Amino acid sequence: MTTVTTGRREHPAVVAVVGGGMAGLAAAWQLSQELGPSTGGEAPRVLVLEAGGRTGGKVRSTEFAGRQVDLAADAFLARRPEATGLCAELGLTDDLVAPGAAGASLWARGRLRMMPAGVNLGVPTRWWPLARSGILGPAGSVRAAVDLVRPHRARPELTGDAAVGGVVTARLGHEVTERLVDPLVGGIHAGGVDDLSAEATFPPLLVADRSAGSLMRRLRMPAPPPPDPAAPAAPVFWSLDGTAARLPAELTAALVARGVAVHVGVAVESLSRPTADGAGSWVLTLAGETATVPGATGASDNARTLTVDGVVLAVPAGQAAGLLADHAPQAAAVLGDIRHASVSVVTLSVPAGAVRAELVGTGFLIPRTSPVDGRTALITGCTYLTRKWPGLARPGDELIRLSVGRFGDDRPDAMDDDELTAAAFGELAGILGIDGRPRESLVTRWHGAFPQYRPGHFERSDGILAAVAGLPGIGVAGSAYRGVGIPAVVGSGRAAARAVLASLDGTSPASPDA
């Protein structure tokens, strides 16, 4: 067990996790594993302080049209171990469910067209399926084919980062970038690939670009082993039976069972050291529902201080910058410079008989260069929820979820919920041939939800992590550093927890990639 010496007395380390999203909950889980559970009348060794009214962050669900639906992330990558491993630790492996449909379409050249086979994050790896898809015009298809016949020399001398869009356009042409790569990579990050880091969002692209030969061939996925006819196909994504939001709910319950003190409605306003020389513990200034926070003292129930040995800051970049400004000013400045995109989710219940188009696959994406009704589309993507997750299906309606907004598109901010719903549904109705109006609708807005990984992001992120590592007992976690999505932030939280404990133990902190 990690202990901390204060004067002549040793006491078990107490660590506060600021932020109760997936990164913070994962950090608390790692801390509770290594510090041990608090039982009986023991004071908690781990505290989670969440400013909002619930844990889970953007992994959230609500009841809609008589069903529980996710309002942001509804699945996580199966090939990454962080989320599936956490599910196993929580005893949820048997509750993992795969999507009931596969494949997606693109709105290109005036209609929906299925994504061609062999696409790796939007980059085609085989020319003939690309040409047959009709997503590119004849000139765009010919330009992409040049990659297969024109010799490309290896460029091992190139180092550093580059924008995804610049690499793909130089090798395959602007149509591949605009109609395939931007809606996929840009859609994941709610940004544009001309200003997204390849190192942070698509690292194999840099390796392939600096190697000899065809980019398309270099990015082909390894051939899978011959399938076992009796075995089910390996899924690309997993969710949990019910909703993906079960994961933070189950994790919160498991934390409480371990004696972790989880508090919602408690904000951390500042972070300070109690002594002039900067040695010793950390003092958190709290606001909100603070009366029941163990160890918190102060003049009033909603303005207190809490002294702890370690802190994990699992909060958005801007908030972390404010808390670190007096202690790691350069890291705080870099954090404050990270730009963010806001997105909205419009969930609809549409009468099944009103949809004239066939709903194929899990949904579709709309490139920003593919207009709808002659205008730049407001919608960036559409998910056929009742096709993707058959457990949501009910007779008589289709649940459809629309993603709206990307970096640089401020139109949704100028609309109220009714206006946004009407505009988004109008585009959807034109694409799918929907008659009438939706039966029910729900708008969920995620302000500043997506950090933008500009070229050089990992170098800047490593600088932040290195500066924070110089502060005893402090760690940072979340989507601002080394990846978005549930697996990435789970890994970030656990790595931050290990770094804090290593600092308190006086050992080397974990590397940024841990």
> What does the H/E/C string look like for 460-491?
HHHHHHHHHHCCCCEEECCHHHHCCCHHHHHH
User: Which of the four pLDDT bands, split at 50, 70 and 90, describes residue 5?
Assistant: low
Bridge partners of 348? 400, 441
In this structure, the number of other CB atoms found within 10 A of the CB of residue 358 comes to 7
Tell me, what's the pLDDT at 364? 98
As given in the structure block, the two tokens for residue 488 are: 């990435």
Domains of the chain and any CATH numbers: 3-58+244-338+454-505 (3.50.50.60), 119-153+161-218 (1.10.3110.10), 340-451 (3.90.660.20)
pLDDT recorded at residue 115: 96
Give the span between the Cα atoms of 79 and 87, in whole angstroms: 14
Residues 261 and 461: their CA atoms lie apart, in Å, by: 30
Average of per-residue pLDDT across 508-513:
46
Helix axes 486-505, 81-89, angle to 10 degrees: 70
Average confidence (pLDDT) over 458-468: 96
pLDDT at 85 over 80: yes
Residue range 344-389, pLDDT digits in tens: 999 999 999 999 999 999 999 999 999 998 899 999 999 999 999 9
pLDDT digits (tens, 9 = 90+) for 146-193: 999 998 888 878 889 999 999 999 999 999 999 999 999 999 999 999
> Can you give the pLDDT at residue 511?
44
Per DSSP, 353 falls in state: G
pLDDT at 508 over 70: no
Instruction: State which amino acid sits at residue 166.
Output: G
- For residues 203-222, average pLDDT: 93
Residue 8 has pLDDT above 50, yes or no: no
Q: What is the pLDDT of residue 513?
A: 45
> In terms of pLDDT, which residue wins out, 158 or 455?
455
- CB neighbours of 204 closer than 8 A, spacing ≥ 6? 120, 219
Number of helices (H), then strands (E), belonging to the chain: the values are 18, 25
State mean pLDDT over 64-71: 96
Greater pLDDT, 91 or 295 = 91
Gap between the Cα atoms of 185 and 201, Å rounded: 7
Rounded to the nearest integer, the mean pLDDT of the chain is 92
Q: Token pair of 402, please? A: 């629309």
Share of the chain above pLDDT 90, in %: 83
Give residue 227's pLDDT band: very low, low, confident or very high (50, 70, 90): low
Residue 403 has pLDDT above 50, yes or no: yes
0.85 cut: is pTM over it?
yes
Return the pLDDT at 7.
43
Per-residue pLDDT band at 510 (split at 50, 70, 90): very low
* CA-based end-to-end distance of the chain: 21
Cβ–Cβ < 8 Å for 145, 130: no
Which stretches within 36-126 are classed as H helix? 81-89
Predicted pLDDT of residue 151: 85
Q: Show Cβ contacts of residue 482 under 8 Å, excluding neighbours closer than 6 positions.
A: 200, 458, 461, 488, 492, 512, 513
As a three-state string, the secondary structure of 185-224 is HHHHHCCCHHHCEHHHHCHHHHHHHCCCCCHHHHCCCCCC
> Tens of pLDDT along 274-285?
765 544 589 999
